[in-house]
Amino acid sequence: MARRSIRQPSSTDDLDARKATILEAVVREHIDTAQPVGSSAVAATSHLAVSSATVRSEMVTLEREGYLAQPHTSAGRVPTDKGYRYFVDHLQAGVVGEAQQQQIKDFFANVRGEVEDVLAQTSTLLSQLTSYTSVVVGTGHAQSAILSTQLVSLDARHQLLVTVFADGSVTKHSILSVFDVSHVEVAEASRQLNALLIGTVLDARVQVPSRNDHVATLVREAVATLHAQAPTLDGEQVFIGGSSKVAEAFDGVETVRQVLAILEQELLVVSLVQDILDQGLSVAIGSEHGFEPLVSCAVIVAPVTIDGHPSGAVGLLGPTRMKYSEAMAAARAVSAQLTQHFHGDDRA
Amino acid sequence: MARRSIRQPSSTDDLDARKATILEAVVREHIDTAQPVGSSAVAATSHLAVSSATVRSEMVTLEREGYLAQPHTSAGRVPTDKGYRYFVDHLQAGVVGEAQQQQIKDFFANVRGEVEDVLAQTSTLLSQLTSYTSVVVGTGHAQSAILSTQLVSLDARHQLLVTVFADGSVTKHSILSVFDVSHVEVAEASRQLNALLIGTVLDARVQVPSRNDHVATLVREAVATLHAQAPTLDGEQVFIGGSSKVAEAFDGVETVRQVLAILEQELLVVSLVQDILDQGLSVAIGSEHGFEPLVSCAVIVAPVTIDGHPSGAVGLLGPTRMKYSEAMAAARAVSAQLTQHFHGDDRA
DNA sequence: GTTAGCACTCGGTAGAATTGAGTGCTAACA
DNA sequence: TGTTAGCACTCAATTCTACCGAGTGCTAAC
């Protein structure tokens, strides 16, 4: 688990045992109480047999090296992002509690329905388990082969193109013709589309008919419409659970507002989660993700794979002083179950 | 526009001109400032040529009759739900501003994509226009006829049932067989399903084959799965925009949390909007909707119709001291545009 | 290197005093 | 009879003060 932030490769990143213990005590206490932690509290709770004075002098060092900070002169210490980072990398190790383990098991034993439903409910579950806002991202079908495609006529000018992908996802696109199209023509176009597209992926080049009759025009239109969305992130699905937890986890109305505003922009959330995954991190703390409005947040992510290849992620968003151990354990457990759930028994 | 609350038919509901003017001044001022309003402020802003003492004695009456309340003895007056109700029914009349009118026009001129996308974006628009959280509800396809249905094989045991409805909506349902099914059988089942279901609505009784071969079993299974969802509200779509506005509009972290928690439960939101529509109201203020956790909220709704029959609604949720005139005007304008947008030119 | 001791800092709290917006009442007035 | 000026009263909010105490940094002794 010893990972290293890409954005903070500055100092040697190693602390002697006592400093580490002190840092740990400060982080634990501060996560618990949300208050600055004083030297005597550390001397008492940590099992170091040293006096508060000793702790104090160590704290001075820890502060100089950037692991701790002081809100004001005569207050205790508070962990910095770097402090949390060290804690996460070296000190914490979480397991999911009995009850929660059971809750997860029960959930996945009983859940049914389409992928979208499962993901949405999973998001709610994860949020309930941790009391943080959860994000579940499902990768789109960009690389998934087309299993079937069908053109349905709504009326003479309106057709609906329904496409089924190998991963079980379905898209629809409406097509507006500039001329009236008969049912026979729609059926024929549908047949041709199937012939053309089945087995291909969205960004594949396809030989479309160049004739100028109704059917050919319709086919060209349909293919164009379908392919038009390929380059975008379309098909990405985001499920956010427990946004009300934002109001609990952060204080300051303005912070709450900002975080909620971010969560509203789903594309932003997807790219945030992607970024973190790409960096090979499982947690991004404070400024690490480089997302200005989220400096007071920490984001935990755990990838989900289907049949071996990455196909989504589950995430948690909380304050930097979040309960990393529990939250990371929960995220990992849920992502593992999700991976397993989509492995074989229920594909779509 | 003079509507009457169903839940408050108690008193005569009529005020003489001066009381009405005073009530109006109090409501307007309090909406503006969020502060209790004093008699002198009313005497100054309203164009009544009376002294504050006179206003005071009128206020005593208004308070006794339940239109105003006093937070504490030596404070100004604040409108009660009943006060807001009178204001909404008799006193306010809003028009959408030039700029906003333009923004709505531009939006509907440029918007494209599937119904879902349009509704989602509309929700964002409405929220931006008003600075309140918006809710857009799209009625399900419960009464819509089936245009086409298709069974697609994902693998030997997994099939996907894709159904297209006359309103342009598409559903998918996965079906897990207990035996391996060949492609030929799936195609045959698909053909039979089309024959059975095209033109029917979801809650129609359908004569399913009683044989026991693979195809017949598959057909029965598919019909059962499809019909299973008919009685639920499934197919209802809810799009919530601007949930971050909750943090702006309400004060008190706890209130914010509660409102957000409600918004997370989409079914609740749908039924709330439905209730209000059913009562024939366009605004529900405070306790009027009988929803305990939302006593400090007002909800504005405006129905959307497609081809004459009701098919959804747009709504706004804000504090009881919300800007009713503007918000109601905006909701009405948007619902009108939405109605028009789905009228003919772009059906799905 | 560790620790006890001590002076010092400074946010938080509690209480008292003050302010001022706003009321209700009353007596006079048109 | 309705309106108003005047006035005593109320009470949240603000300001000021004193003070407490948690916590620090430093130093001298162990």
- Reported as a single tens digit per residue, the pLDDT across B259-268 is 999 999 999 9
Cβ contact B335:B303 at 8 Å: yes
Closest-CA residue of B relative to A228 is B113
Residues with Cβ within 8 Å of B69's Cβ and at least 6 positions away in sequence, in order, are: B63, B77, B78, B79, B80
User: Is A16 an interface residue toward B (CB < 8 Å)?
Assistant: no
pLDDT band, very low/low/confident/very high, at A228 (cuts 50, 70, 90): confident
DSSP state at residue B168: S
Comparing CA positions, the residue from A90, A151, A113, A4 lying closest to residue A341 is: A113
Q: Which is higher by pLDDT, B168 or A262? A: A262
Q: Inform me whether the pLDDT recorded for B311 exceeds 90.
A: no
**Residue B50 pLDDT > 80, yes or no?**
yes
Mind listing the pLDDT tens digit for each residue in A294-347? 999 999 999 999 888 888 999 999 999 999 999 999 999 999 999 999 875 444
Q: Return the residue matching tokens 């029914």.
A: B89
Between B150, B168, B253, which is nearest A148 by CB?
A: B150
* Choice among A79-83, A261-265, B1-5 with the minimum mean pLDDT: B1-5
Angle between helices A115-130 and A324-341 (to 10 degrees): 160
Q: CB under 8 Å to A87, separation ≥6 — which residues?
A: A23, A24, A27, A79, A324
Q: Name which residue leads in pLDDT, B224 or A204.
A: B224
Average pLDDT over residues A111-123: 93
- pLDDT exceeds cutoff 80 at A11: no
The CA distances from residue A110 to A106, A122, A160, B224, B264, in Å, are 6, 12, 35, 20, 22
Which tokens is B47 given? Answer: 């164009």
Residue A7's pLDDT is what?
45
**Tokens 């035996």, located at residue:** B179
pLDDT-wise least confident of A249-253, A315-319, B182-186, B231-235: B231-235
pLDDT at B98 over 60: yes
Average pLDDT, chain A: 90
The A residues from 250 to 269 touching B (CB cutoff 8 Å) are 251, 253, 256-258, 260-261, 263-264
Judged by CB atoms closer than 8 Å, whether chains meet at B168 and A160 is answered as: yes
Residue ranges of the alpha helices (H) in A155-265? 183-197, 214-228, 245-249, 253-264
What one-letter code names the amino acid at A151?
Answer: L
**By three-state DSSP, how is residue A199 classified?**
coil
Of A150, A158, A251, the CB nearest to B347: A158
Contact (Cβ atoms closer than 8 angstroms) between residue B334 and residue B308: no
Where does CATH 3.30.390.60 sit in chain B? 146-228
**pLDDT given at position B41:** 96
pLDDT for B306: 84
Contact partners, residue A295, CB within 8 Å, separation at least 6: A286, A287
The reply to whether A6 touches chain B by the CB within 8 Å rule is no
Intervals of CATH 1.10.10.10 along chain B: 17-91
Q: Buried b / exposed e across A173-194, counting CB within 10 Å, b at 16+?
A: bbbebeeebeeebbebbbebbe
* Torsion angle, alpha carbons of A85, A91, A92, A93, to 10: 130
Instruction: Tell me what pLDDT residue A209 has.
Output: 86
Q: pLDDT tens, B3-38?
A: 333 444 344 568 899 999 999 999 999 999 999 999
Q: Do B162 and A170 touch (CB under 8 A)?
A: yes
Structure tokens at B86: 């009178």
The dihedral sign for the CA sequence B184, B186, B192, B194: negative
Helix axes A253-264, B253-264, angle to 10 degrees: 20
Q: Do B152 and A147 touch (CB under 8 A)?
A: yes
d(Cα B188, Cα B219) in Å, to the nearest integer?
Answer: 9
Count other C-beta atoms under 10 Å from residue B71's C-beta: 11
Percent of chain B with pLDDT over 90: 74
- Average pLDDT of span A20-25: 97
- The answer to whether B330 and B316 are in contact (CB under 8 A) is yes
Half-sphere exposure for A246 (CA within 13 Å, toward CB): 33
Dihedral of CA atoms A323, A270, A81, A259 in degrees, nearest 10, equals -80
Q: Residue B327: pLDDT above 60?
A: yes
- CATH number among 3.40.50.12280, 3.30.360.10, 3.90.1560.10, 3.30.450.40, domain A98-139+236-341: 3.30.450.40
C-alpha to C-alpha distance for B43 and B98, rounded to whole angstroms: 31
Task: Determine contact, residues B162/A172, Cβ cutoff 8 Å.
Answer: no
Phi, psi of B301 (to 5 degrees): -130, 150
Question: How confident is the model at residue B232, as a pLDDT?
Answer: 57
Partner B contacted by A152 (CB < 8 A)? yes
Q: Is the dihedral of CA B259, B264, B267, B273 positive or negative?
A: positive
Q: CB B243 to CB A243 under 8 A?
A: yes
Average pLDDT over residues B51-65: 96
**pLDDT, position A252:** 87
Beta-bridged to residue B315, according to DSSP, are B135, B301
Number of other CB atoms surrounding residue B10 within 10 Å: 10
B300 touches chain A (CB under 8 A): no
Residue A147: its chain B contacts at CB < 8 A? 152-154
pLDDT of residue A83: 97
Q: Provide the CATH topology of domain A17-91.
A: Arc Repressor Mutant, subunit A (1.10.10)
* pLDDT at position B132: 98
The C-alpha R_g of chain A, in whole angstroms, comes to 26
Measuring CA to CA, which residue among A320, A326, A289, A323 is closest to residue A69?
A320
Look over chain B and give the mean of its residue pLDDT values, rounded to a whole number.
Answer: 90
* pLDDT at residue A143, as a whole number: 74
A235 interfacial to chain B (CB closer than 8 Å): no
Closest by alpha carbon to B146, among B161, B165, B160?
A: B165
Per-residue pLDDT, B15: 86
Integer Rg of chain B from CA: 26
- For B131-144, what is each residue's pLDDT tens digit? 999 999 998 766 78
pLDDT of residue A8: 41
Q: What is the topology classification, in CATH, of domain A146-228?
A: Enolase-like; domain 1 (3.30.390)
Residue B203 has pLDDT above 50, yes or no: yes
Compute the count of residue pairs across chains A and B with CB atoms less than 8 Å apart: 118
Q: Which residues in chain A, range 74-113, keep a C-beta under 7 Å from any nucleic strand C atom?
A: 74-75
Q: What is the b/e burial string over B294-325, where b = at least 16 CB atoms within 10 angstroms of the residue's CB?
A: bbbbbbbbbbbbbeeeebbbbbbbbbbbbbbb
How confident is the model at residue B346, as a pLDDT? 46
Instruction: Give SS3 for B84.
Output: helix
Delimiting residues of CATH 3.30.450.40 domain(s) in chain A: 98-139+236-341
Using the structure, give the distance in angstroms from the CA atom of A259 to the C1' atom of D23, rounded to a whole number. 33
pLDDT tens digit sequence for A176-192? 999 999 999 999 999 99
Residue A60 Cβ < 7 Å to strand C: no
Smallest CA-to-CA distance from B219 within B229, B209, B228, B227 is with: B209
pLDDT band at B251 (very low <50, low <70, confident <90, very high): confident
Inter-chain residue contact A160 with B170, CB threshold 8 Å: yes
B69 touches strand C (CB under 7 A): no
Kindly indicate the confidence band of residue B284, based on its pLDDT and cuts at 50, 70 and 90: very high
Share of chain A above pLDDT 90, in %: 74
Give the pLDDT band of residue A129 (cuts 50, 70, 90): very high
Which pLDDT value is given to residue A281?
A: 83
| B162 neighbors B152 (Cβ within 8 angstroms) | yes
Mean pLDDT over B201-209 rounds to 85
At A17, the amino acid letter reads: A
pLDDT digit string, tens, across residues A23-73? 999 999 999 999 999 999 999 998 888 999 999 999 999 999 999 999 999
